[in-house]
């Protein structure tokens, strides 16, 4: 990991009606860095990721993308959309085949031959070649997750935001997701992973942050047997 700052965020505030969910949140994300974002349901993890991906407007925020100067979110929105990619908790598949969905992530100027080759590579990378002609709406949760990661691999964003990527997946699918994220990290892609599954992503993460009382604080993954009684799990320790 080098010292280049991919994304810097300051003074982020976001309210829904009278309820403030994020208050003066600050964050810095380095090149190739993976941040694990934890917090209780409704804490604002998804909202934070969506704002950083340029999909949701904050009440106030100052951002710098790829070492540019700090500017308002509105000024940075286009840059965020170009350089980041947000993966939904339940990935959306366009109505069409898996190939069609992968093709969507490619630049339109690419010629037909190059498109075919890139899609074949993505199918092989994601281990989904056998699904290539299947209607994407019929895919299972784990298969959708792999297709969405293959779309990310094709698009090669500088920053990848993942919202609960292993929610509702079985152990094998969770492991496959982790196996696909590892080479993305090695390729230099920065990531922010919002997940309750701290145990699972701890080996991949460089830092763990906890969304506590509308602000981000540094945390550490720890063994915690309270979440699943009798079955050791890693949760996070937050400073007192």
Partner 1 sequence: MSRQGPLGEWKLLFTQTAMVLGQIALAFPILAAMGHSALQAVDKRAWETARTLGASPLRAFITLMHEARFGLMAALLAAFGRIIAEVGASMMLGGNILHYTRNIPTAIALETSKGEFAQGIALGIVLLTLAFTLNALLQNFQGRGQPVT
The residue (of 54 and 58) whose beta carbon lies closer to partner 1 is 54
The residue (of 119 and 211) whose beta carbon lies closer to partner 1 is 119
User: Least CB distance from residue 201 to partner 1, whole Å?
Assistant: 21
User: Residue 45 and residue 50: Cα distance in Å, rounded?
Assistant: 9
User: Least CB distance from residue 106 to partner 1, whole Å?
Assistant: 9
User: Least CB distance from residue 212 to partner 1, whole Å?
Assistant: 27
The residue (of 104 and 125) whose beta carbon lies closer to partner 1 is 104
- Given the rule CB under 8 A, which residues bind partner 1? 50, 53-55, 81-82, 84-86, 88, 90-92, 94-97, 99-100, 102-105, 107-108, 115, 119, 135, 151, 155
Burial of 101 (0-12, 13-18, 19+ CB in 10 A): buried
User: Least CB distance from residue 79 to partner 1, whole Å?
Assistant: 12
User: Residue 213 and residue 238: Cα distance in Å, rounded?
Assistant: 12
Contact 41, 96 (CB under 8 A): no
The residue (of 94 and 140) whose beta carbon lies closer to partner 1 is 94
Sheet arrangement for strand 215-224? 84-87, 159-163, 190-194, 34-38, 207-212, 215-224, 233-237
Nearest to 11 by CA among 215, 196, 211: 215
């Amino acid at each position: 990991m080098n010292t280049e700052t991919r994304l810097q965020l300051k003074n982020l505030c976001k309210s829904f009606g009278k309820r403030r969910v994020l208050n003066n949140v600050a964050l810095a994300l380095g090149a190739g860095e993976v941040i694990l974002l934890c917090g209780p349901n409704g804490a604002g993890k998804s909202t934070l990721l969506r704002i950083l991906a340029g999909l949701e407007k904050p009440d106030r925020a100052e951002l710098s993308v790829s070492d540019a100067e700090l500017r308002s979110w509105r000024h940075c929105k286009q840059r965020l959309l170009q350089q980041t990619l947000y993966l939904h908790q339940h990935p959306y598949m366009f109505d069409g085949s898996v190939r069609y969905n992968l093709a969507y992530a490619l630049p339109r100027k690419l010629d037909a031959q190059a498109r075919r080759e890139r899609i074949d590579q993505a199918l092989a990378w994601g281990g989904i070649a056998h699904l290539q002609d299947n209607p994407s709406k019929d895919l299972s949760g784990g298969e959708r997750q792999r297709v969405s990661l293959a779309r990310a691999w094709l698009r090669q964003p500088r920053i990848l935001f993942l919202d609960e990527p292993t929610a509702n997946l079985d152990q094998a699918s969770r492991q496959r997701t982790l196996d696909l994220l590892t080479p993305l990290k090695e390729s230099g892609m920065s990531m922010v992973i919002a997940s309750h599954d701290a145990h699972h992503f701890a080996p991949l993460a460089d830092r763990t942050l906890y969304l506590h009382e509308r602000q981000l604080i540094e945390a550490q993954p720890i063994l915690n047997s309270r979440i699943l009684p009798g079955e050791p799990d890693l949760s996070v320790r937050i400073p007192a």
